[in-house]
Chain A
Amino acid sequence: MIHSSLTQLGAALRAKKISSVELTQSYLDRINQLNPQLNAFITLNPEMSLAQAREADTRFASGKVGALTGIPIAQKDIFCAKGWLTTCGSKMLHNFVSPYDAHVISQFNNAGAVNLGKTNMDEFAMGSSNETSHYGAVKNPWDTARVPGGSSGGTAAAVAARLCAAATGTDTGGSIRQPAALCGISGLKPTYGVVSRYGMIAFASSLDQAGPMGRNAEDLALMMNVMAGFDERDSTSLQRDKEDYTRDLNKPLTGLRIGLPKEFFAEGMGADVAKAVEAAIAEYKKLGAVIVDISLPNSKLSVPVYYVLAPAEASSNLSRFDGVRYGYRAPEYGDLADMYEKSRAQGFGAEVKRRIMIGTYVLSHGYYDAYYLQAQKIRRLIAQDFTEAYKQCDVIMGPTSPSTAFQLGEKGDDPVQMYLSDIYTIAVNLAGLPGMSIPCGFGANDMPVGLQIIGNYFDEARMLNVAHQFQLATDWHSRAPKL
């Protein structure tokens, strides 16, 4: 059962072959068994999970069920969930039990899904290896000496290790796609504004977007049906008609134009990654796609632009964590300023502090124009590159990450090396476009390689179709790590 897809689990539940309580319990048992090695979860609350499972089982009795009813879904610990400890991977929120549900959480609750637990993550989603979590690094299930990627590393490891069938992630610069690639699972970052950010603890508001992570594209489509939709509590949420993201899954790919940006296939990409990605492109040709060479000339500026804008927003977003109203407060302090300084010095980890300082600097008087405004201008140029590219192609493909999963501690001393692991994913966030990663083979040390699929705005259904057709033709997505 633990290898089943959401579709299969839903069918089994509706056929009453298994109850939600039994299914939930079996996942909880597996988590108890494997989480000590992986550290994929920060918080488990079997009582609350099983209560939801029991409620789902009564729904089956009454017949009012949807595709995800009764299915345990793990939630990244960035989503506020009523009654659940919600830490965002930080000591700062070590004691914060949310009094309310994020939009994403209430969407899953309304669908009758079971909250299986809160997954580990880089502190405040700042990191690409899950090593910045206050609750310890997550281990990659394919090799526990390696990182799972980040910041949604707990979710990626949990899905890969079959600790849950699917889970949520968030992606500010690659935080869904990069860990999906490094753990050999599928992940989708939707178009900015498609999933409400209400109740999702903000890192960089203009870039943050929640999305599903799971075993395959079909499962992601089912998750999107629950997660996406307008929410008036988020002013950046887009008012659009409800979509069925499964609607195009089975369309043939004949004539699909795949753009390959020459900048993505230049130096920097590992040979093992290149080999797997090229093999995937060859597979797409067999499926009827045509290849178009394109250029994203400004994409090389993505990393520096991102590391101005994201820290700028973060430095302000994280100001509310001051020890006054909730969260961590230093046990001893002198005056008010001392309380702020000590609480924040003790409550935040090194990477978070680094970004707060960078952000504060680039917004400072005298530097704002040179950094923040300049970065905003380049951000628009990066988005324009994509607009131009989509005149020639339907989707863009390339590697998700330049390398496979690296060793724990390998990049700990070099933030810039760490930042470069998101070199292919960041431009997508800056442009607000949807991006995906699906497994497309294995590289050095038998670690998974991810293929990135970038769509035009609101083209999620087509991207899921493109991914699903590949997954019908290949079996990379159904490989599981041995644990």
Chain B
Amino acid sequence: MQWEIVIGLEVHTQLSTNTKIFSGASTAFGAEPNTQADAVSIALPGVLPVLNKGAVERAIKFGLATGSHIAPRSVFARKNYFYPDLPKGYQISQFDLPVVGKGALTIQVEPLSGNAKPYEKTVRITRAHLEEDAGKSVHGDSQGVTGIDLNRAGTPLLEIVSEPDMSSAAEAVAYAKALHTLVRWIGICDGNMQEGSFRCDVNVSVRKPGQPLGTRREIKNLNSFKFMQQAIDYEVQWQIDTIENGGKVQQATILFNPDTGETRAMRSKEDAHDYRYFPDPDLLPLEISPEWIEQVRATLPELPQAKQARYVNDLGLSAYDASLLTASREMADFFEAALSAVPSQAKICANWMIGEVSAQLNRDGLDMAQCPITAQQLGGMLARIADGTISNSGAKDVFRTMWAEGGSADAIIEAKGLKQVSDSGAIEALVDEIIAGNAEKVAEYRSGKDKLFGFFVGLAMKASKGKANPAQLNDILKKKLEG
């Protein structure tokens, strides 16, 4: 019998402010332990929180980018529990009145299995709220002592909660990736998953179609998309097996072990905390005026979906190409900058971006921001293709050189003598010579063996050392062969 999978995500994004959400201490990653722990981070007696406006602005940006409701008034609440890396004994978060309310994110899903086609899906966002991060317990010191590093304590987080709208690991991963792209796109989070800037909790349950929701288990702190997929796949199978074997799924918080590929329960519902939320009396309700929202809106870049629509409608690109070009803001910016050199060649520019540039980055293990060539270099090369100075194969040569050694397309063309021959007299002479030297094949062609055309093109290209303008060569060859 078929099982239906129900998945919802809670994503913690670290907001890219320079200072903490409730104090002026730095949020930079990787400093010596406790060097960025000021009086507020340590929770000395008597200190008080003061809200960082930059964190609020980032939350507003997220709300605007997802068409979400932005609460004119939201409230910070204390979530009370004891843990050594939680210096106040409570986390300042938002509970019943979050800063961002209902919204949605449209995603492109690429199914993992076989020949299914990519499709679009809209995932509803339940809410997003501001809160502070905790510090870190540092275990495994030589004396068996656990240390506390409070550098991270108070780093601003936006926790983005989705509705349980995803029904496969592929959809969950697609949503997480789309969110990851978006938060970097609008500049509210650096998206660095290794450093914990983007952490996902995944709620998974299974049910028979038409049945009420099953009991969910929450996989905590996934920091890679690959692990997320593996964890969901394992967990779904575990839940199905459990139920089919007559067992019952108990609500629990679980961890994924990437080494074994398995999930295991961390704590069950019975030992769930009573967090005793209540409004933090040290902070006034957060009020966001329509004017403030408009000010923030003015700083928002063109969003991926708007760009995609523009690429399709104005540039004539396919929806698929448009989605690849907007995979990151760096990619889209690079594309647009290169295109500005050859405004009428959107398709060729897109092909180079999606083809050679992406492939080469991939091979070198680089991301767009680390691309060794500039958009100006690529645009310069595209201009030489467009004006017929170089052939496509010549362009590949130019591109490789540019990538490895740098330099402008013009300089490389000059140095390597890649300028293609567009002198029709020279090409005609060359073609005449080939026709004269291959009488047998010419006869075969003329008797109807059309496929031989490629053979002649090859010979002619070889004779021109690859420099003959292909379009011109085709025309002349065709004309002369047909006599």
Contacts and interface: CB of A to CB of B under 8 A. Distances in A.
A325 B148 contact: yes
A385 interface: no
Interface string B251-285: 00000000000000000000000101110011110
Contacts of B45: 80, 86, 88, 93, 96, 98, 201-202, 320-321
Nearest to B24: A233
B89 A232 contact: no
Interface string A296-333: 00000000000000001101101111101110000000
- Counting chain B CB atoms within 10 Å of each CB, which of A96, A205, A324 scores highest? A324
B82 interface: yes
Given A316-B89, A340-B82, A198 B278 contact: no
Contacts of B278: 312-313, 316, 363, 368, 372
B223 interface: no
Contacts of A236: 281-282, 284
A323 to B, nearest CB: 10
B47 to A, nearest CB: 7
Contacts of A96: 45
A206 interface: yes
Interface residues of B, number: 28
Interface in B25-51: 39, 42-51
Contact of A316 (B42, B90, B148, B284): B90
Nearest to B81: A319
A319 B84 CA distance: 11
B80 interface: yes
Task: Say which size band chain A's interface belongs to.
Answer: 35 or more
B80 A320 contact: no
A200 B281 CA distance: 15
A203 to B, nearest CB: 11
Contacts of A201: 45-46
B470 interface: no
Chain A contact residues, majority secondary structure: loop
B84 A324 contact: yes
Contacts of B220: none
Contacts, number: 97
Nearest to B146: A336
B51 A364 contact: no
B127 interface: no
Contacts of B80: 315-316, 319, 363
Nearest to B79: A316
B20 interface: no
B175 to A, nearest CB: 31
B274 A322 contact: no
A320 B43 contact: yes
Contact of B283 (A98, A235, A319, A365): A235
Contact of B87 (A312, A313, A325): A325
Contact of A336 (B44, B84, B88, B284): B84
B78 interface: yes
A92 to B, nearest CB: 9
Contact of A232 (B50, B82, B90, B276): B50
A100 B43 CA distance: 12
A320 B282 contact: no
Nearest to A100: B39
Nearest to A366: B274
A363 B276 contact: yes
Contact of B43 (A99, A234, A315, A325): A325
A364 B80 CA distance: 10
A79 B45 CA distance: 9
A198 B276 contact: no
B48 A80 contact: no
A313 B87 CA distance: 17
A360 interface: yes
Q: Which 10 A-B residue pairings sit nearest by Cβ, starting from the closest? A: A319-B89, A206-B281, A363-B276, A205-B281, A199-B46, A201-B45, A320-B43, A80-B46, A365-B274, A201-B46
25 contacts: A80-B44, A99-B39, A99-B44, A102-B46, A233-B48, A235-B48, A235-B51, A235-B282, A312-B278, A313-B281, A316-B80, A316-B278, A318-B89, A319-B82, A319-B88, A319-B89, A319-B90, A320-B45, A320-B87, A325-B42, A325-B87, A326-B42, A340-B82, A363-B80, A372-B278
Given A319-B80, A365-B276, 10 more contacts: A198-B47, A202-B282, A206-B281, A235-B51, A236-B284, A312-B278, A316-B78, A319-B88, A326-B44, A368-B278
